[in-house]
């Protein structure tokens, strides 16, 4: 709480020069158009309608499944209906991992079920499961320090918590255990592994999520599941009250032959420089447990609704605005990689890119990763966004997971950073459902994206310089 | 919010005469002892320790199962260790219904899974399940108005909401659909039924709970499950977007031969009138989905810890304080009925009874159901409780579910009414776990029970008159 007055004071100090920067760089007509887009977006219901439609009519849409294919059909139909140009699917193949049975129970000394879910890419225990004594580690680092072969026949439990943060910075730390535990446990000779969910809630929902990226190496590792936070607490208490706790774990996921996925693309061709692309991304796939409302139906609704407002302008912006709804994000950024490969020749014409993939909370910060000469323009854009409650950020933006390969190829990115305080309460759980989205917050996102995309496509700035 | 100042003003006006009532009726030494019990309780950790132990070491404890038997063993051991007298199990038989597989999915036009759980006592669909077109009703009353045989081959969906209230009064209305839907759907010729969960949360947890009481008639009705609130929302949206929605429902619970249950009883024999009984109840069984922390591990902790404080007094109260941890409450008050039958001869010596079975929230109101001449004493007790933030209530207390048969037999009851604002977010779900209990609120409950039980056992008032 003590930081607020300081932040407020800084914002007020910054606002005046920012407003001057915007005035100087943006023609009055351009500024007025951006302001008009913001006003229109705050009254626009398309984003909420889209995420409602996607999560209701398609629901879960795991990469490579028939449901993800239905999501692509849905997206093509909706984008076409909305009048976008060049609507298309850009297909690629994806490893197909599907969930099976999943359950766990304490066998001794306090028999009772535990709520678990397999991590994406986990191997199978077979239908009879595996049973073993639990060996707990307070962190991944502690697990990594254990000697090879020292846990033969045991089940590893990595009881590392996640820090709740507004900017999601707790995730990067916490997710390491999700990615590495299966393989570390294998090295130790364990027969299975459990992790405290990568999440910040205290509900009985285990959080799934990918282990090592399937594109980096399929299979391997011991069967590994996440425990919900209350179940991790329970197992911790059981261990404190008994000399030995044994658990049975049953996971029967399958890794099937590679399957078809795809990115869905739609455009507003640029008025003067159609080969120059401002990219707005989100991802269409979602984990199988929920209906993918905050991850990432919200992003789909935001970027499509924002682009639709640009389409409704009397004339298209100078540059092309391209919406990319990536496939197969959750299972290892497979769509992101395919996009970067398929568009390798054109990446130098990608002027700037942004992705909405951090839920449905309000945007509170505008980050960029642009060249030094472009900072005056991004400051001008930030001034336009400021009335939405969006404050200054850094020039070290990452720009969203699906922009990883673009960023690595030198494409400038922007980060319209959402408030992620509650995001990891829902992330990758059955509880990621439509009721968790606040329509007013969603509209604020649409307003920020509409103004950003318009300005980025209208100015002549080279964001690389 | 506007009510608070008025309530505060009323409380202040009432406090002075209440304090005088307490002074007049309670000897200074008695009043001082009650105040001392309150002070001790607020620093006492036994209740939290007990609910932690019960929910960790036993966990779920469905009536009639081996886990409920373990809970009785746990209770006998703990009550004996704590030094109570006459610790015993009073056995009875209970119908044994056990959950099987349970799943549901929309088949057409939007295929996706739905989160369901069987209602207690539901019949089975068989392993292949039943499939049918959904026919929705906004309320149980609407379902009851439908003509016999009018829904052959269909699946009923009763989409009636529950009202969130502090005092739990929304439950009595909402629970009617849980009790009646299976039988109404059978009358209509339906092959299955779904209800919106009896609950107030918006998480992906369906709430279980008993249908018609097993003791009133076993079996019958169509297979019936509760949908979580987000899933009920989803089905409602699907119905609004399609001419016809078909669902498959698989429930394979079993009704097994009657099994053993029991009430666990412990006493502090009265100093002068040991045959007069002040009863403090809670229930030991819990639904199978969670670990029964707020329902009713908290109650077990509260009444046992309160009684233990009385046991630690230099001399026992005049009357006997009897702790009864009822078995088989959830499946139809079977333990309550057994107690009333087994103690029929002694019910007229039950001076007053109270049960803690509404979670772990703070007590905010003191209700009674006593004779008119006893009201001065209950007002004096209320004055002692007032510093705990407990306000005036009515003389129409129900006293807790397990007191139903005692109340009907004329036993006076008290209601130490907890704040149930959040109780039905957790009630009968997997999410009823220890992390949901606030230790400070639990201690406030212990303080109120300790003072109440002591005063009720120490005074000479006949609460019947």
**pLDDT tens track for A255-273:** 999 999 999 999 999 999 9
- Reading the block at residue B65, the tokens are 């199962």
For residues B138 and B195, what is the distance between their CA atoms, to the nearest angstrom? Answer: 10
**B119 is a domain residue:** yes
Confidence of residue A7 (pLDDT cuts 50, 70, 90): very low
Cβ pair B430, B295 in contact under 8 A = no
Cβ pair A438, A360 in contact under 8 A = yes
- Reading the block at residue B86, the tokens are 């006459």
Domain stops at, among B228, B252, B276? B252
In sign, the C-alpha dihedral spanning B121, B124, B127, B132 is negative
pLDDT of residue B212: 82
Domain stops at, among A224, A252, A280? A252
**B463 is a domain residue:** no
pLDDT of residue B11: 45
For residues B270 and B317, what is the distance between their CA atoms, to the nearest angstrom? Answer: 6
pLDDT of residue B12: 43
Cβ contacts of A113 on chain B, cutoff 8 Å: 59-60
Co-location of A122 and A81 in the same domain: no
Q: Across residues A65-93, what is the average pLDDT?
A: 98
Burial of A257 (0-12, 13-18, 19+ CB in 10 A): exposed
- Reading the block at residue B430, the tokens are 């997997």
Co-location of B285 and B210 in the same domain: no
Instruction: Tell whether A20 lies on the interface with B, counting CB pairs under 8 A.
Output: no
Cβ contacts of A203 on chain B, cutoff 8 Å: 203, 205, 431
Cβ pair B419, B282 in contact under 8 A = no
* A10 contacts: CB under 8 Å, gap ≥ 6: none
Co-location of B223 and B327 in the same domain: no
**B143 is a domain residue:** yes
For residues A436 and A421, what is the distance between their CA atoms, to the nearest angstrom? Answer: 13
pLDDT > 70: what percent of chain A? 93
SS (H, E, C) B290-328: CCCHHHHHHHHHHHHHHHHHHHCCCCCCCEEEEEEEECC
| Helix B28-42 with B439-458: angle, nearest 10 deg | 160
Give the chain A residue whose CA is nearest to the CA of B426: A203
Co-location of B90 and B9 in the same domain: yes
Closest alpha carbon to A120 in A360, A422, A333: A333
Q: Which of B160, B184, B267, B329 does the annotation list as catalytic?
A: B329
Cis peptide before B23 (omega within 30 of 0): no
**B117 is a domain residue:** yes
Burial of A331 (0-12, 13-18, 19+ CB in 10 A): buried
Asked if the model's pLDDT at residue A220 lies above 60, the reply is: yes
* B243 contacts: CB under 8 Å, gap ≥ 6: none
Domain stops at, among A252, A283, A318? A252
Among A56, A67, A113, the strongest candidate for a mutation testing the B interface, having the largest count of B CBs within 10 A, is A56
Co-location of A80 and A112 in the same domain: no
CATH (domain of A214): 3.50.30.30
For residues A293 and B202, what is the distance between their CA atoms, to the nearest angstrom? Answer: 14
Co-location of A226 and A127 in the same domain: yes
pLDDT of residue A1: 38
- Residues spanned by the domain of A307: 7-95+258-458
Cβ pair A85, A269 in contact under 8 A = yes
Closest alpha carbon to B227 in A153, A285, A433: A433
For residues A187 and A192, what is the distance between their CA atoms, to the nearest angstrom? Answer: 11
* A12 contacts: CB under 8 Å, gap ≥ 6: none
Q: Across residues A45-64, what is the average pLDDT?
A: 98
For residues B189 and B186, what is the distance between their CA atoms, to the nearest angstrom? Answer: 5
Co-location of B89 and B141 in the same domain: no
**A217 is a domain residue:** yes
**In the block, residue with structure tokens 């008993």:** B210
* B386 contacts: CB under 8 Å, gap ≥ 6: B11, B15, B18, B19
Among A51, A62, A109, A112, the strongest candidate for a mutation testing the B interface, having the largest count of B CBs within 10 A, is A112
For residues B436 and B168, what is the distance between their CA atoms, to the nearest angstrom? Answer: 18
Cβ pair B218, B97 in contact under 8 A = no
pLDDT of residue A22: 58
Low-confidence ranges of chain B (pLDDT < 70): 1-24, 213-219
pLDDT digits (tens, 9 = 90+) for A168-216: 999 999 999 999 999 999 999 999 999 999 999 999 999 999 998 654 4
Give the chain B residue whose CA is nearest to the CA of A232: B435
Instruction: Tell whether B234 lies on the interface with A, counting CB pairs under 8 A.
Output: yes
Cα angle value B51/B57/B60 (rounded, 5°)? 80
Q: Strands, DSSP E only, in A242-401?
A: 246-251, 254-268, 273-283, 319-326, 350-355, 363-369, 391-392
How big is chain A by its Cα radius of gyration, in Å? Answer: 23
Instruction: Tell whether A138 lies on the interface with B, counting CB pairs under 8 A.
Output: no
A434/B60 CB distance under 8 A: no
Instruction: Tell whether A105 lies on the interface with B, counting CB pairs under 8 A.
Output: no
Residues 382-421 of B with CB under 8 A from A: none
Other C-beta atoms closer than 10 Å to the C-beta of B241 total 14
ipTM value of the model?
A: 0.92
**A464 is a domain residue:** no
Co-location of A140 and A266 in the same domain: no
Co-location of A72 and A217 in the same domain: no
Instruction: Tell whether A101 lies on the interface with B, counting CB pairs under 8 A.
Output: no
CATH (domain of B353): 3.40.630.10
Co-location of A76 and A211 in the same domain: no
For residues A345 and A348, what is the distance between their CA atoms, to the nearest angstrom? Answer: 7
For residues B200 and B98, what is the distance between their CA atoms, to the nearest angstrom? Answer: 25
Among A55, A58, A230, the strongest candidate for a mutation testing the B interface, having the largest count of B CBs within 10 A, is A230
- Count up the domains in chain A and report the number: 2
Co-location of B314 and B381 in the same domain: yes
Order of strands, sheet of A254-268, starting from the edge strand that comes earlier in the sequence: A85-98, A254-268, A319-326, A273-283, A350-355, A413-418, A363-369, A391-392
* B240 contacts: CB under 8 Å, gap ≥ 6: none
**A295 is a domain residue:** yes
Instruction: Tell whether B435 lies on the interface with A, counting CB pairs under 8 A.
Output: yes
Compute CA distances B334 → A358, B136, B381, whole Å.
Answer: 50, 33, 31
**Chain CA centroid to CA B16, Å:** 34
- Reading the block at residue A408, the tokens are 């690595």
- Reading the block at residue A386, the tokens are 């400021």
A58/B110 CB distance under 8 A: yes
Q: Across residues A415-426, what is the average pLDDT?
A: 98
**B371 is a domain residue:** yes
DSSP symbols for B363-420: EEEEEEE--GGGHHHHHHHHHHHGGGT-EE--S-----GGGHHHHHTT--EEEEEE--
pLDDT of residue A342: 98
pLDDT of residue A25: 83
B60/A238 CB distance under 8 A: no
B202/A430 CB distance under 8 A: no
Instruction: Tell whether B115 lies on the interface with A, counting CB pairs under 8 A.
Output: yes
The pTM (predicted TM-score) of the whole model is: 0.93
pLDDT digits (tens, 9 = 90+) for A87-143: 999 999 999 999 999 999 999 999 999 999 999 999 999 999 999 999 999 999 999
Compute CA distances A94 → A81, A211, A215, B246, B306, whole Å.
Answer: 28, 15, 8, 31, 61
Co-location of B424 and B275 in the same domain: yes
CB contact burial A429-456 (16+ within 10 A = b; e otherwise):
bbbbbbebbeeebbbbbbbbbbbbbbbb
Closest alpha carbon to B302 in B88, B167, B450: B450
């Amino acid at each position: 709480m003590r930081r607020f007055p300081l932040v407020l004071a800084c914002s007020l100090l910054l606002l005046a020069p920012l407003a001057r920067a915007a005035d100087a760089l943006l023609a009055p007509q351009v500024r007025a158009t951006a302001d008009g887009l913001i006003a229109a977006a705050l009254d626009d219901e398309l984003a909420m309608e889209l995420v409602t439609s996607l999560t209701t009519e398609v629901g879960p849409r795991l990469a490579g499944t028939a449901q993800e294919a239905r999501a692509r059909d849905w997206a093509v139909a909706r984008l076409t209906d909305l009048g976008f140009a060049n609507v298309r699917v850009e297909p690629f193949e994806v490893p197909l991992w599907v969930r099976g049975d999943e359950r766990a129970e304490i066998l001794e000394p306090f028999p009772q079920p535990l709520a678990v879910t397999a991590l994406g890419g986990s191997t199978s225990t077979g239908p009879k499961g595996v049973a073993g004594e639990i060996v707990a580690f307070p962190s991944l680092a502690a697990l990594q320090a254990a000697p090879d072969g020292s846990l033969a026949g045991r089940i590893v439990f990595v009881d590392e918590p996640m820090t709740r943060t507004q900017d999601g910075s707790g995730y990067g730390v916490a997710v390491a255990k999700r990615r590495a535990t299966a393989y570390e446990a294998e090295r130790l000779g364990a027969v299975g592994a459990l992790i405290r969910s990568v999440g910040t809630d205290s509900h009985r929902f285990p959080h799934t999520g990918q282990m090592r990226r399937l594109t980096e190496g399929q299979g391997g590792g011991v069967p590994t599941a996440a425990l919900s936070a209350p179940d991790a607490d329970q197992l911790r208490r059981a261990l404190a009250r008994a000399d030995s706790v044994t658990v049975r774990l049953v996971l029967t996921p399958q890794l099937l032959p590679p399957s078809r996925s795809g990115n869905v693309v739609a455009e507003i061709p640029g008025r003067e420089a159609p080969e120059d692309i401002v990219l707005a991304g989100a991802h269409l796939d979602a984990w199988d447990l929920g209906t993918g409302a905050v991850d990432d139906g919200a992003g789909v609704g935001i970027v499509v609704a924002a682009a639709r407002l640009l389409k409704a302008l009397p004339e298209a912006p100078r540059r092309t605005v391209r919406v990319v709804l990536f496939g197969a994000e959750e299972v290892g950024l497979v769509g992101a990689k395919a996009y970067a490969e398929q568009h390798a020749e054109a990446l130098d014409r990608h002027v700037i890119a942004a992705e909405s993939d951090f839920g449905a909370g309000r945007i509170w910060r505008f980050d960029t990763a642009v060249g030094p000469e472009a900072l005056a323009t991004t400051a001008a854009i930030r001034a336009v966004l400021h009335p939405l409650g969006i404050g200054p950020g850094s020039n070290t933006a990452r720009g969203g997971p699906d922009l990883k390969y673009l960023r690595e190829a030198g494409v400038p990115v922007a980060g319209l950073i959402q408030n992620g305080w509650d995001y990891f309460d829902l992330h990758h759980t059955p509880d990621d459902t439509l009721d968790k989205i606040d329509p007013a917050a969603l509209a604020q996102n649409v307003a920020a994206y509409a103004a950003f995309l318009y300005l980025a496509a209208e100015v002549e700035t080279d964001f690389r310089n």
